[in-house]
Amino acid sequence: MRWALVSDGSRVNGVVHARALRAYLAHLAVERGSSPNTLRSYAADLRRYLDHLHAGGIEDLAVVRESDVTAFLAALRSGPVPLAASSTARALAAVRGLHRFATREGLVPVDVTRSVVPPALPKRLPRTLTVDQVEQLLAGCIGDGPVALRDRALLELLYSTGARISEAVGIDLDDLDLAERAVLLRGKGGKQRIVPVGRPAVAAVEAYRVRARPVLAERGRGTAALLLNARGARLSRQSAWHALRAAAEIAGVEADVSPHTLRHCFATHLLAGGADVRVVQELLGHASVTTTQVYTHVTVDSLREVYATAHPRARG
């Protein structure tokens, strides 16, 4: 049996397989700028895939057939420890990436994964809070200290703009235009968008910027970040998440509150209020409107409940 080392020090069956895997992981790291977590996940999925091929006597990607790929997916779903559909879909994404790269580099004549269909993922509607619950959550940011004022500004911004937590902590002072009540957000893939900011959020940000940020900034080495931690550096996503959970606990919000909760609430409440789905798509920074349309299911469910209890022909 021949073994070869891949870039992370682990072993993969087959010298040809290992060479393709090394080249692909290097491509992801250098040219695509993939994160260490992504590289680890892809490496693990692809090691499993290449070992599956080796067990079937396949030592060269050039002879892999579409049926070999589908057999691998079937093995993932029915093995001793069956993978969920989402994990299987992630593994297929890694396999597709490897074959696409190998085709482009001339290592294989054709990409056999092009027609492979990923397993259907269960439709999970985003968890949201009611407007009253959001008000209750925002009321959980109490106190006049620098951290309390910062957390209030953070939560108000998240709900007012629909920003991802990573986008919110990435806001710099120059990104804010409080006079125009707008903020520049930097989204996935470096895409930027300008989003309106509501009056309560403007008031919370201004109170933080004037009364709290200078105090926090004195403890650091100077940064353009709007939201600072207790050491005067840019607030991290983890710290922002803890601030959100702490506010929920103080406010007595029993619903599960995640880093994306206020983003989901932003979209759902806009649509429930009559906003066009295309407008919400632009505000959220979604590349496709189909991503945004998941929120229409939430609002339809709430409308159906109202209809069932209010319309005379809905009963019985």
| Catalytic residue set | 164, 188, 260, 263, 286, 295
In angstroms, rounded to a whole number, what is the distance separating the alpha carbons of residues 156 and 174?
A: 19
CB burial class (10 A; 0-12, 13-18, 19+) of residue 232?
middle
In angstroms, rounded to a whole number, what is the distance separating the alpha carbons of residues 54 and 46?
A: 12
CA angle (131, 133, 285) in 5-degree steps = 55
Helix H segments across 105-198?
A: 131-138, 146-161, 165-169
Q: What is the Cα 122 distance to its own chain's centre?
A: 17
Question: What's 253's DSSP letter?
Answer: -
Q: What is the DSSP string of 208-245?
A: HHHHTHHHHHTTSS---BSSB-TTSSBPPHHHHHHHHH
Q: What is the DSSP string of 271-303?
A: HHTT--HHHHHHHHT-SSHHHHTHHHHHHHHHH
CB 83 within 8 A of CB 46: no
CA angle (78, 123, 287) in 5-degree steps = 115
CA angle (152, 154, 155) in 5-degree steps = 70
